[in-house]
Amino acid sequence: MEQTTVLIIGAGPAGLAAAARLRRKGIAFEILEQNEAVAASWRRHYDRLHLHTVKEHSYLPFMEFPGHYPRYVSRRMLLDYFEAYAKEFDIRPHFGEAVASIRPGEGAWEVHTRSGKTFAAPHVVVATGLNRVPNRPRYEGEERFQGQILHSRQYKNYSPFCNQRVLVVGFGNTGAEIALDLSENGIPTCLSVRGAVNVVPRDFLGNPTQKTAFTLAKLPTWLGDWIGAQVQRLAFGDLRPYGLTPSDMPPARQLRETGKTPVIDIGTVEQIKAGKIRVKPGIRRFTETGARFEDGTEEPVDTVILATGYRAMLEDFLPFTDGLFDRYGIPKEVAGKGKYKGLYFLGFDNYKPGGGLGVIRQDSEAVVEAIISEAG
């Protein structure tokens, strides 16, 4: 059994941020990573991905992005940054170590890995992220469908789908951008949108929407929500003629109350208005050659890409989770209480404006301060 003061699970952005802060404080730690490199999830994302948040608010603790990086950092540049970050703070994860269980032990938490190793630490930082397990819904008749059904995690770029008809399911940021990537490259694309949507422009009148969100967050909530709704209306107009039903909930309120980020548009709405992406309702069932939708229409389809999100699924390795999660299955606090004392959850806070990396930078400080406080 290997013992340490703090054990971090996951070497993505959240795990790296916690490790850097612990290093600065001189607190001993070890870090486990089930893959063979830091930021493994970012390596699997599609090629064209850029951050939707500006670089000056999206860096990790103590190390801003290089000056030559663009305002919206690319996936490749982000990977270079994460690797440089690990080197800068001498972060050396135990690679290939997938956690099987976290159990309370004698004065410490015991973490057992699938390779048979055991680590003990009074403080365990769970940094496995919101996107750990793909959410793969099942549909009536999909076994009859003669095409292929993929999860968006398997999508890298448009090239394998040339000369195909593609249906993208889900109008979150991933689904919107995959549909855009396909349609911009001449691939007939449909986008299945099941419910009401909240869309905001990435930039409005030359200003990043992220910075506008920070300003609106300082106002009374009713006023900030009203202004956000007006920005939507001015940016896009009425989207109902194009098959998109606007949400009754303003974008900032949606984030604040549900943790669900509005779609940050970088061109998908324009493609929809131009008829290059055709919006369809939810899928009722699959046929041999395509899909039938809730409005009774059918479309011939060769490939379906399910941009249906992910789940954190912490219950896979935590022996008990009662009282830990909110109604969306996300930890309620960054520092566990009661029987969860000594456990910390970093990278799960999706309720604040400003983007995931900026929130991680803030919350990692709270986590390390809580560790110091509990260590006494």
Name the more confident of 375 and 273.
Answer: 273
Q: Compute how many other C-beta atoms are within 10 angstroms of the C-beta atom of residue 23.
A: 16
145 & 290 share domain: yes
Is residue 256 very low, low, confident or very high in pLDDT (cuts 50, 70, 90)? confident
* Residue 325 bridge partners (DSSP): 331
Q: What's 86's domain CATH number? A: 3.50.50.60
Mean of pLDDT values over 253-271 = 89
Give the domain range for residue 50. Answer: 2-132+312-375
Mean of pLDDT values over 127-136 = 93
125 & 248 share domain: no
* pLDDT exceeds cutoff 70 at 208: yes
Mean of pLDDT values over 92-115 = 96
Quote the pLDDT of residue 352: 73
pLDDT tens per residue across span 32-54: 999 999 999 999 999 999 999 99
Quote the pLDDT of residue 354: 66
Mean of pLDDT values over 174-196 = 97
Q: Which of 258, 275, 306 is the last residue of a domain?
A: 306
324 & 342 share domain: yes
Mean of pLDDT values over 304-331 = 90
The CA-CA-CA angle for residues 237, 239, 243, to 5°, reads 170
Is residue 214 very low, low, confident or very high in pLDDT (cuts 50, 70, 90)? confident
154 & 302 share domain: yes
288 & 323 share domain: no
Q: Which of 289, 306, 323 is the last residue of a domain?
A: 306
Q: Compute how many other C-beta atoms are within 10 angstroms of the C-beta atom of residue 351.
A: 16
Number of domains in the chain: 2
C-alpha to C-alpha distances, 257 to 81, 253, 301, nearest whole angstrom: 32, 6, 36
Mean of pLDDT values over 93-115 = 96
152 & 118 share domain: no
Q: Which two tokens stand for residue 140?
A: 């009536």
145 & 285 share domain: yes
Question: What pTM was estimated for this model as a whole?
Answer: 0.93
Mean of pLDDT values over 98-109 = 94
277 & 228 share domain: yes
* pLDDT exceeds cutoff 70 at 307: yes
145 & 26 share domain: no
Mean of pLDDT values over 289-318 = 95
Place of tokens 């549900």: 258
165 & 187 share domain: yes
155 & 169 share domain: yes
Quote the pLDDT of residue 48: 95
Is residue 191 very low, low, confident or very high in pLDDT (cuts 50, 70, 90)? very high
Q: Which of 261, 278, 306 is the last residue of a domain?
A: 306
The CA-CA-CA angle for residues 286, 289, 293, to 5°, reads 40
Is residue 330 very low, low, confident or very high in pLDDT (cuts 50, 70, 90)? confident
Q: How far is CA 362 from the centre of its chain?
A: 17
Least confident stretch, 32-41, 43-52, 226-235, 340-349 = 226-235
145 & 255 share domain: yes
